[in-house]
């Protein structure tokens, strides 16, 4: 019986540790994204692209470890389906941040429009809130405060969507170069999708919180 409970707490610690790593990873990626859109020259952006790509691969490795854990572990700290969903959506956030950075790299724009920086900030703020939420999941002492953080990420998503549509309208009204318009639109879409994926992660976390009450 002692071994049974020992395994349970060991596995519980394993999953929460991996989720904390995944959440920190997307926060680190979002910080690099802010640095990227704040950097003026293509040469100075190059190492930032490489760091984002490297972190995306680390995220894939973390996800793989969680999935392996699900295959091998009988006792899990919360519903297996929720573990799978949370792993998937955190990986989606990392993928979309990497996709936005990749498009910036491919398109090699000399400068970014203000909306790109604005939505990148929403990505960073959302990822930071997710990291705080994930770090609180192992011991949900204040579920109402955590649900408040979930609502905050929902607000970021709403603001990001408004900024995205506003930017598109401005581009179609003022941008004369159709190729540049496409490039800006693609980057904006990837960034806005990153915030939406953060909201998806929040939906899973919110369900976990509600089930714990």
pLDDT for residue 157: 96
pLDDT for residue 12: 67
Cα separations in angstroms, 208 against 21, 78, 81, 139, 193 = 18, 8, 11, 12, 23
| Structural domain boundaries, residue 13 | 2-212
Residue 133 has pLDDT above 50, yes or no: yes
Helices (H) and strands (E) in the chain, counts: 6, 0
Tokens of 106: 């491919």
Residue 10 has pLDDT above 80, yes or no: no
Q: What percent of the chain has pLDDT over 70?
A: 92
pLDDT in tens, 73-96: 767 777 788 889 999 999 999 999
Residue 102 has pLDDT above 90, yes or no: yes
pLDDT for residue 150: 93
Q: What percent of the chain has pLDDT over 90?
A: 70
Domain count for the chain: 1
State the CATH number of the domain containing residue 65: 1.20.58.220
131 pLDDT tier (thresholds 50, 70, 90)? very high
Burial code of 137-155, b = ≥16 C-beta within 10 A, e = fewer? beeeeeeeebbebbebbbe
pLDDT for residue 3: 45
């Amino acid at each position: 019986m002692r071994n049974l409970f020992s395994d349970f707490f060991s596995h519980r610690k394993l999953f929460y540790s991996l989720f904390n790593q995944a959440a920190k990873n997307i926060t680190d990626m979002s910080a690099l994204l802010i640095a990227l859109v704040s950097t003026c020259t293509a040469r100075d952006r190059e190492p930032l692209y490489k760091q984002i790509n490297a972190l995306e691969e680390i995220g894939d490795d973390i996800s793989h470890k969680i999935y392996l854990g699900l295959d091998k572990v009988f006792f899990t700290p919360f519903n297996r389906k929720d573990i799978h969903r949370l792993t998937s959506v955190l990986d989606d956030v990392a993928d979309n941040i990497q996709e936005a950075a990749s498009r910036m790299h491919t398109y090699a724009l000399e400068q970014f429009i203000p909306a790109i920086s604005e939505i990148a900030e929403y990505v960073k703020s959302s990822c930071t809130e997710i990291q705080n939420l994930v770090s609180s999941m192992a011991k949900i002492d204040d579920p109402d405060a955590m649900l408040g953080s979930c609502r905050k990420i929902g607000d970021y998503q709403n603001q990001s969507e408004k900024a995205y549509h506003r930017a598109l309208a401005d581009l179609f009204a003022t941008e004369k170069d159709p190729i540049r318009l496409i490039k800006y639109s693609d980057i904006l879409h990837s960034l806005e999708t990153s915030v939406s994926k953060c909201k998806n992660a929040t939906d899973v976390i919110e369900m976990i919180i509600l089930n714990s009450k």
